[in-house]
Amino acid sequence: MLGYIAGRNLEETGLQAVLRAEEMGASNLESAREIGKTAIEDSVRGLDSKSTEAIELRTVELAQRIADFLYERDKDISILASFWPDLERYLEVYSVCKRDVMEQLSHKIREILDSK
């Protein structure tokens, strides 16, 4: 009789241990999922802020380049306005100031693509 009770008690203890282990495993799995979800969200937020910062930086650089270009053209116009109207002189200034915008653009695009 004592052996039967001991065996039964041992069996119940084993079942409870298995049940507790399963509960702990499920709890640990849920915790791991939450940690993973939080890590992914933090990474996405971090990448989004870095991407936003990079886009803002490039936007500011582009705006500065456009402003510089416009100031240069303003100076060109001021210089031309100071001359007595003369076709030859206008052509001379044009030939000195002329530059290929597409070549510079393709060079910049190449730099951007090479940096990635």
Per-residue pLDDT of the chain (116 residues; tens, 9 = 90+): 767 677 777 678 777 877 888 888 888 888 888 888 888 888 888 777 788 888 888 888 888 888 888 888 888 888 888 888 888 888 888 888 776 655 555 666 667 667 75
* DSSP state, residue 1: -
**What pLDDT, on the 0 to 100 scale, is given for residue 8?**
74
* DSSP state, residue 100: -
**What pLDDT, on the 0 to 100 scale, is given for residue 103?**
55
Give this prediction's pTM: 0.46
